[in-house]
Amino acid sequence: MADISITASNVKLISGPTEDIIAGASVTAGQIVYEEAATHTAKLSDNDSATAEVRAIKGMTLHAAAADQPLKIAKDKAIVSLGAVLTAGVDYYVSGTAGGICPRADVTTGDDPLRVGIAKTTSYLLLDFADVDVTL
Res 23: pLDDT: 98
Instruction: Provide the whole-model pTM.
Output: 0.94
Assess contact for 128 and 60: CB atoms under 8 A. no
What does the pLDDT read at residue 24? 97
pLDDT at 49: 87
Buried residues in 20-40 as b, exposed as e (16+ CB within 10 A): ebebbbebebbbbbbbbeeee
70-127 pLDDT per residue, tens: 999 999 999 999 999 999 999 999 998 999 999 998 888 878 889 999 999 999 999 9
Domain boundaries, the chain: 8-131
Range list of β-strands (E), 10-78: 12-15, 18-23, 32-36, 41-44, 59-61, 70-74
- Which pLDDT tens digit goes with each residue over 17-47? 999 999 999 999 999 999 999 999 999 999 9
Predicted pLDDT of residue 111: 85
Query: Using one digit for the tens of pLDDT, what is the confidence trace for 57-73?
Result: 999 999 999 999 999 99
**pLDDT > 90? residue 134:** no
